[in-house]
Amino acid sequence: MSTTRPALDAPPAAPSSWKEYVFSTVIIVVVTAAGLLLPESYYVSVGLIHLLAIILLCLHVGRGPVLMAGILSAFAWEYIFIPPHFSFAINSLQDGLLFGTYFVVSLVAGQLTAQIRAQAQDERRREQHATALLHLTRALAEAKTLDDAVFAALRQTDELFGAQTSLVLADDARRALVPHFASSYSLNEKELTTAEWVFRNQHTAGRFTSNLSDSTSYYLPLVRENATIGVLGVKVATDRPLTITQQNLLEAFARQLALSVEREHLRAASEREKLLAESEKLHRALFDSVSHELRTPLAVINASADSLAGADPSLSGQLVNEIRTAVHRLNRLVGNLLNQSRLESGTLKPRPDWCDVGDIVNAAVENTRDALTGHSLTIAVPENIPPVRADFALTEQVLTNLLLNAANHTPPATPVVLTAGIEPGGQRMFFTVADHGPGFSPAMRGRLFKKFIQDDTTSTSGLGLGLSIVRGFVVAQGGEVVAGENPGGGAMIAVYLPHPPPKAAAQA
C-alpha cells in the first residue's frame, strides 16, 4: 500500500518547497541575461518581458516564490536596465512611474493567479471527494453481501488515502468488537484499546488527535441512530497529519459504511423473522398432516373393532380387511418417519452387497401389493441382468416408495410400468417407475424431493416424505434421481445407481 501514491493532493496550506524558489530565481536570472543582449534603449520592452515571465511563473509556482520573483525582477530591472545602468538611481519621472507600476502589477498578478490556482485546486479536490464518495456508494450498493461491501469500501479507503484500514464491528450483544476479515492490518492489544475507547465515546481518537495520540492509526466511530456499531481504523503511511478535508472525507466514508452495516443488520433481522414464520407454518402443516395420517387409520381400526364386537358375522371379513389396511398404512407411515430421521441424523450407512435385481423388484412389488390393487403393473427387467452392487433394503425402500407414489397419485386402474436394467455404457444401473397420472405440476418440479412437500393441486394424503426418502437413500448410495415426463403422459421417475463391473463376474 505504501507504494501507491495517495490520490488526494497535498493540502493547500503546505508551504512551497525550496525548489520553487530556486526555479523562480533561475528564470529571473535567465530573463535578465537575455535582456542584456538587447540594445540599451529597449529597457521598457525588457520590463514587459520580465512581467511576462512573472505571469507565466504564477501558473506554475506558489504565491511566495512569485512574490520573491516579482521583487527580484523589479530590482534587477531597475538596477541593470533603467538608465543610469548599474545604479538604483532613477533619472526621469517617467522611469519612476514605470518602475512603480511594474512593481505593483507584478505583485497583484502574482496574488491573483495564486488565488485562481488555489480555487482550481479546491474545485478539483471537491470533485475528487465527490467522485470518491460516488465510487464508494456504488460499490456498497452493488455488493451482494455485507462482507463484499466492507471489502470494497476498505480497499477504496486504502487506495484513496494510501493507507491501511481496519474495521471492527460490534457483535450482536454490542459488547465485544469483532475484527472484519477484510481489514488490511490487524489491531494489536493497544490499538484495540483505542478502538474500544472510540466505540464507547463515539469520538475519533488515535494518531493526529488529542485522544490516545500515541496509537499508530486514526480511529473513527461508525454511528447509526446514536449507537456505535463499529470502529474504522486508518493507518496512513506518511507522517503528515490528515487535513480537515481528508478527515471530512473519512467521516463521510464511515457514515456510508455504517449505513451499509445497519442495512445488512435490518435485512438479516427481517430474514430471521421470515424464516421463523415459515418454519412455524411448516410446523403447523406437519402437525396437521401427522395427526391426520395417524388418526385416520386409528379411527378405522377403532370403528372396525367396535363393529366386530357388535358381532355381525357376515361383515367380519370386510371389517378385518379394513383393520389390516389401516395397520399397513400406519406401519408404512412409521417406517417413513423412521427412515427420514435416519437420513437426517446422518446415521445412515449403506451396506452395498451383490443383489439380484429381480429380488429387489419382487420385494418392492410385494410391499405395495395392496396399495397397487386396481392398477395394472408391468415389470420389465432383462432376463439375463447380472447381480448389481447395492444396499438391498435401501433400494427396496426406494422402489417401494416410487410404486406407492405412483399408486397414490394416479387415477384408479391406470397402468404403472416398472423397468430396470444396466445403462448401455455399463457404468450405471437404473430403475424407472412411470405412471399415467397427471404428472408433476411445474410448481412441484423444483420441490419434489423436499420433505413434507405435497402437491397442493391434488388432495392425496401422505406426509410428503416418500420422494425425500427416495432421494436420500439413492444419494447415500452414490446415485441420482431424475423426475420427468412419461412419454405417454404422466410422471416418470428414474433412479440411477453406480454399477461397478464385478471383479469375479467372469468366473461365476
Partner 1 sequence: MTTSHPSRLLIVDDEVQIRRLLRVALEAENYEVHEAASGQLGLSEAAGVHPEGIVLDLGLPDLDGREVLRRLREWSQVPVLVLTVRDGEEDKIAALDAGADDYLTKPFSRRELLARLRAVLRRTQPSSEETVVRFSDVEIDFAARIVRRAGAEVKLTAKEYDLLRYLAQHRGRVVTHQQILRELWGANAEDSTHYLRVYMTHLRQKLEPDPRAPKFLQTESGVGYRLVES
Could you tell me the end-to-end alpha-carbon distance of the chain, in angstroms, rounded to an integer?
71
Report, in Å, the least distance between residue 498 CB and partner 1: 16
Q: Which is nearer to partner 1, 22 or 505 (CB)?
A: 505
Q: Which residue has the cell 520553487?
A: 20
Q: Which is nearer to partner 1, 38 or 299 (CB)?
A: 299
Q: Specify the amino acid at residue 254.
A: A
Report, in Å, the least distance between residue 361 CB and partner 1: 8
Q: Which is nearer to partner 1, 100 or 478 (CB)?
A: 478
Binding site for partner 1 (CB under 8 A): 327, 331, 335, 338, 351, 353-356, 358-359, 362-363, 379, 381, 387, 391-393, 396, 502, 504-505, 508
Residue 41 contacts residue 85 (beta carbons within 8 Å): no
The one-character DSSP state at 495 is E
Q: What cell numbers appear for 394 in the block?
A: 435401501
Report, in Å, the least distance between residue 394 CB and partner 1: 8
Report, in Å, the least distance between residue 357 CB and partner 1: 10
Sheet harboring 416-422: ordered strands across?
377-380, 416-422, 428-435, 491-498, 480-485
Report, in Å, the least distance between residue 383 CB and partner 1: 8
Report, in Å, the least distance between residue 502 CB and partner 1: 5
- Around Cβ 75, how many Cβ atoms within 10 Å? 14
Report, in Å, the least distance between residue 327 CB and partner 1: 6
Q: Which is nearer to partner 1, 293 or 396 (CB)?
A: 396
Q: Which residues pair with 483 in a beta bridge?
A: 493
Question: What own/partner pairs with CB < 8 Å and gap ≥ 24 does 29-35 have?
Answer: 31/73, 32/73, 32/76, 32/77, 32/80, 35/77, 35/80, 35/81
Q: Which sign, positive or negative, has the C-alpha torsion 138, 142, 148, 150?
A: positive
How far apart, in whole angstroms, are the C-alpha atoms of residue 101 and residue 89?
17
Residue 258 contacts residue 224 (beta carbons within 8 Å): yes
Q: Which is nearer to partner 1, 358 or 484 (CB)?
A: 358
Q: Which is nearer to partner 1, 320 or 443 (CB)?
A: 320
Q: Which is nearer to partner 1, 55 or 379 (CB)?
A: 379
